[in-house]
Amino acid sequence: MADYKAPLRDMRFVLNEVFEVSKLWAELPALAELVDEDTANAILEEAGKVTAGSIAPLNRSGDEEGCSWDNGAVKTPAGFPEAYRTYAEGGWVGVGGSPEFGGMGMPKVIGAQVEEMVNSASLSFGLYPMLTSGACLSILNHASEELKAQYLPNMYAGVWAGSMCLTEPHAGTDLGIIRTKAEPQADGSYKISGTKIFITGGEHDLTENIIHLVLAKLPDAPAGPKGISLFIVPKVMVNADGSLGEKNALGCGSIEHKMGIKASATCVMNFDGATGYLVGEVNKGLNAMFTMMNYERLGVGIQGLSLGERSYQSAIEYARERIQSRAPTGPVAKDKAADPIIVHPDVRRMLLTMKALNEGGRAFSSYVAMQLDTAKYSEDKATAKRADELVALLTPVAKAFLTDMALETTVHGQQIFGGHGFIREWGQEQLVRDCRITQIYEGTNGIQSLDLVGRKIVGSGGSYYKHFADEIKAFVAAADANLDEFTQPLAAAVQNLDELTAWVLDRSQSNPNEIGAASVEYLQAFGYTAYAYMWALMARAALGKETQDEFYASKLGTARFYFARLLPRIHSLSASVKAGSESLYLLDAAQF
Ligand SMILES: Cc1cc2nc3c(=O)[nH]c(=O)nc-3n(C[C@H](O)[C@H](O)[C@H](O)COP(=O)(O)OP(=O)(O)OC[C@H]3O[C@@H](n4cnc5c(N)ncnc54)[C@H](O)[C@@H]3O)c2cc1C
């Protein structure tokens, strides 16, 4: 596998040239004093060094060694504790954290690039800080001032880690039926009892404490999702002065043996009357979780992008070096026995698909991150509301589309290696294995599609969609004629998505099955259209500079490939959407 190199040039292009993000920061008072283009560039450069230098070399050994469990203690692979310390001491765990509690306070659009780098270096490693910053976000937004002061500084500093304990053996997608109990105590705390499964970073040897955020139900809670509360449950009790006290009544019963992300500890967690503290209001636990989920779901989409990027870096190097057969148009490397495989149309198709989907994904996830920043920091209520609704609309697309595309890209990256792609030492097969979980956890991609179509499209009567479609139409209308080759197919793609959206809105009124029947293909058609917008924006930023620097020529060539070869996929997806639910219900359960 090629050494990982952070794609800083492309990140700077997206941030500074495509979105001119420093203009947005200057308009948001909370960010204006914290960050500008130079600070951002310096942060990205440092993150590139630490992820490539300290973490990427552990990716394969971490996969080979995996985590181990011994009598409740979990050991991460060799090198992980030291690398985690280096990462934490650099302040990277708290990169997006509130400065009031010691975080760096960077906007999400910077955090998104750092997440991409750490997950490209090692997805297993990246999950530990990601779960910690997710837990911090819920605490920051919903916990009492006292709990924030007690927990956040050590979590941002990476001295303590976090975990999110939602899933139970019988309850994954349907959290309304969880059984973990929370019994109120006289001192205001709660006794938490129950079993959680699949808990990422539930136990490990990276930090001196782990702060679990646990969903549980009070004895008199209403049935279903409206009866769920959220609790902080520390592994080791924290004294009033911040020092560590006794071990809490909880433990790790075992760890899972998995297809991928083997260096990430996936734990069964037993809570045996453990002491917990309520976060937010009783029975409003799912709301508190949703704050965190938009960030985490974008983060999982970025995990997919990270793996696609790492796979591409190895594939392109291999395709330039591996010689096999002659180019169809005649020998290219005449001094060699055969030509490098990059001459072959099918290899170019795979490489360009990877490049177009990775770079489209980087632009799209950065765009969504900018909406998150606008929603959080804009002082203009209408602007913040619009951004918030865009985030709601685009988050399930980012989670599901980026990870679905990542499976395609990592499989192409493996395929380009031929038989060697199947062999462990080359590293490409690990990326495919690691990628698979990104489509499953944090709400499966099927559930993301239902969220998009059911809650965000139908639930808003199409109004959230209109924000996005109107923005693209305004861009097309204002674009120069020299962008026509990009804006015309983009305009047609948006018109197609308008029609699909109207179709879904209409059909959902008469048959409840239509939403679920349309949702996956609708989300994908949406994703390809959103990437077309990103590619048109990137083409605008590159056009006219292609003779100065081959970076821009490469951008324009990839944009042309995207419009010619990938965007047309919307036609078959749209036909599937419009086929409706009927053919899904022709068989009864016994006929399968
Ligand atoms: C490695 C790993 C790490 C994880 N980390 C964490 C963690 O840190 N914390 C945590 O709490 N959980 C974690 N999870 C759990 C993960 O989020 C769940 O596995 C996931 O949400 C799916 O739940 P489930 O496995 O119970 O599947 P189920 O909910 O049983 O779903 C089974 C299938 O049915 C489909 N389905 C279910 N309901 C519907 C519906 N209404 N409409 C259409 N299709 C439906 C699903 O899409 C899926 O394909 C992790 C899981 C793994 C494997």
Convert the pLDDT of each residue in 125-177 to its tens digit.
999 999 999 999 999 999 999 999 999 999 999 999 999 999 999 999 999 99
pLDDT of residue 290: 78
Q: List residues near ligand 1 (CB under 6 A).
A: 164-167, 172-173, 198-200, 258, 266, 437, 440-444, 446-447, 450, 516
Q: Percent of the chain, pLDDT > 70? A: 100
Residue 96 is which amino acid?
A: G
Quote helix, strand, coil % in the chain, to nearest 5.
60, 10, 25
Does the pLDDT value for residue 2 go beyond 80? no
Among protein residues, the one with the nearest Cα to ligand 1's atom 25 is: 172
Alpha carbon 94 to its chain centroid, in Å, reads: 17
pLDDT of residue 416: 98
3-state secondary structure of 244: strand
Mean pLDDT across the chain, nearest whole number?
97
Residues 6+ apart with CB under 8 A from 260: 63, 123, 430, 433, 434, 435, 436, 437
Atom of ligand 1 nearest to the CA of 445: 47
Residue in the structure block whose two tokens are 């990870």: 403
Does the pLDDT value for residue 70 go beyond 80? yes
Q: How far apart are CA 378 and CA 550, in angstroms?
A: 37
Nearest to 488, CA basis, from 545, 564, 544: 564
Does the pLDDT value for residue 385 go beyond 90? yes
Cα of 455 from ligand 1 centre, angstroms: 19
Atom of ligand 1 nearest to the CA of 440: 20
Cα of 444 from ligand 1 centre, angstroms: 6
pLDDT band at 293 (very low <50, low <70, confident <90, very high): confident
For residue range 313-351, list pLDDT tens digits in order. Answer: 999 999 999 999 999 999 999 999 999 999 999 999 999
Choosing from 167, 174, 230, 445 the residue with most ligand 1 atoms within 8 A of its CB, the one to mutate for a pocket test is 167
Among protein residues, the one with the nearest Cα to ligand 1's atom 26 is: 172
> Across residues 575-591, what is the average pLDDT?
96
For residue range 489-512, list pLDDT tens digits in order. Answer: 999 999 999 999 999 999 999 898
Cα of 268 from ligand 1 centre, angstroms: 15
Does the pLDDT value for residue 120 go beyond 90? yes
The tokens for 239 are 């004294």
Does the pLDDT value for residue 291 go beyond 90? no
Q: How far apart are CA 465 and CA 446, in angstroms?
A: 19
Choosing from 130, 447, 515, 581 the residue with most ligand 1 atoms within 8 A of its CB, the one to mutate for a pocket test is 447
pLDDT of residue 1: 64
Contact 118, 92 (CB under 8 A): yes
Does the pLDDT value for residue 268 go beyond 70? yes
Q: What residues does 209 pair with on adjacent strands?
A: 160
Cα of 168 from ligand 1 centre, angstroms: 10
Atom of ligand 1 nearest to the CA of 165: 11
Alpha carbon 532 to its chain centroid, in Å, reads: 20
Buried b / exposed e over 26-53, threshold 16 CB at 10 Å, is eebeebeeebeeeebeebbeebbebbbe
Nearest to 95, CA basis, from 4, 34, 175, 22: 34
3-state secondary structure of 181: strand
563-568: which pairs have CB atoms within 8 A and are 24 or more residues apart?
Answer: 563/485, 563/486, 563/489, 563/532, 563/535, 565/349, 565/352, 565/353, 566/353, 566/356, 566/357, 566/528, 566/531, 567/489, 567/493, 567/528, 567/529, 567/531, 567/532
Residue 121 is which amino acid?
A: A
| Backbone angles phi and psi of 366, in degrees to 5 | -70, -40
For residue range 8-55, list pLDDT tens digits in order. Answer: 999 999 999 999 999 999 999 999 989 999 999 999 999 999 999 999
Among protein residues, the one with the nearest Cα to ligand 1's atom 45 is: 447
Nearest to 67, CA basis, from 224, 268, 243: 268
Among protein residues, the one with the nearest Cα to ligand 1's atom 29 is: 173
3-state secondary structure of 4: coil
Cα of 404 from ligand 1 centre, angstroms: 16
> Across residues 553-562, what is the average pLDDT?
98
> Across residues 46-67, what is the average pLDDT?
98
For residue range 418-453, list pLDDT tens digits in order. Answer: 999 999 999 999 999 999 999 999 999 999 999 999
**Three-state SS string across 306-365, please?**
HHHHHHHHHHHHHHHHCECCCCCCCCCCCCCCCCEHHHCHHHHHHHHHHHHHHHHHHHHH
Cα of 387 from ligand 1 centre, angstroms: 28
Catalytic residue positions, numbered: 442
For residue range 72-114, list pLDDT tens digits in order. Answer: 999 999 999 999 999 999 999 999 999 999 999 999 999 999 9
The three-point CA angle 31-34-36 to 5° equals: 85
Residues 6+ apart with CB under 8 A from 528: 493, 566, 567, 569, 570, 573
Choosing from 74, 127, 168, 173 the residue with most ligand 1 atoms within 8 A of its CB, the one to mutate for a pocket test is 173
Nearest to 155, CA basis, from 65, 90, 232, 93: 93
Neighbours of 275 (CB within 10 A): 20
Does the pLDDT value for residue 240 go beyond 90? no
